[in-house]
Amino acid sequence: MKRIVMLSVLVACGALSVAVAGYQGQAPQAKLPDVTKVKDNLYIIEGASPVDRSMFTGGNTGIFITSTGVVVVDTKLAGYGPGILERIRTVTNKPVTTIINTHTHGDHTGSNEGFPATVDIVTHANTKANMEKMDAFKGEKAKFLPKRTYTDKLSLFSGNDRVDLYYFGAGHTNGDTMVVYTALRVLQMGDLFAWKDAPFLDRASGGSGVELPRTLAKALAGIKDVDTVIPGHHPVTTLADLQEYQRYTADLLTETQAAIKAGKSVDEATAASTVTAKFKGYRSDRLKAAIQAIYDELKR
Ligand SMILES: [Zn+2]
């Protein structure tokens, strides 16, 4: 048993260092927290901030209990399948029937392999294509790739169980799904809104700092009847915080475009940036990397 866990730790490290440069060398050894109730029939297992590596288990995992089974949204780093199942057992005995991966990264798809191969796995079509390139889904592991994909919108189940999946364009990657638990008025964002900090723009997976503010604006206009938001890594929050984050990403883009026009270097642009101060409670751990990504995208 121990050997299997160690092996999956090693596999996760290798896969992550390829897939997500920002998470290089992070072994999934932190303990999973207990479930946190969001609303009736909806829980999350928090992922903790990637800034605190000792607590990091991956992204927030959604657990939605429907009349026929459990929907798991994002599966954290590799090696957490048994732990996630154990946490689910504290709130329901129903089987896991469906996994939704909001995007390709190993801290959101890593423990797909910890669930029975019969579980339906659903993602955006671009995310499936991105996952197919990951070592973690090659060979035997290909059975944990998505079985069902969509391009613009997909509804699963009906009545109080209904879950709507939306894609509004590139942002964090080119396949970010927003998940709406319609009866509960809850929106799970994945890393399109990961934290209150500059976005991680994964250009190798089709991410775009130019598109991100537009994608979020389209989502805010197109998704109705939501009051609660589950970010990719930050604790559960409000729709107002998502609206604020959209403004943050728009301001970051505007100020970076101006810095490029003024001939500033990335370091100068980062030092002169005012977005962190403008938005209360925001950090700047990822500011320089985001500005660099927008420079790379616009300067070609
Ligand atoms: Zn991500």
Residue 159 CA to ligand 1 centre (angstroms): 30
Residue 119 CA to ligand 1 centre (angstroms): 22
The residue extents of the domains of the chain are 2-299
Mean pLDDT of all residues in 232-245: 97
Give this prediction's pTM.
Answer: 0.90
Percentage, residues of the chain above pLDDT 70: 89
Dist. CA 244–CA 90, nearest whole Å = 35
Maximal CA-CA distance, the chain: 60
CATH of domain 2-299: 3.60.15.10
Residue 263 CA to ligand 1 centre (angstroms): 31
223-238 confidence digits (pLDDT tens): 999 999 999 999 999 9
Residues 86, 88, 94, 97, CA torsion sign: negative
Dist. CA 146–CA 144, nearest whole Å = 7
Q: Which amino acid appears at position 109 of this protein?
A: T
Residue 280 CA to ligand 1 centre (angstroms): 23
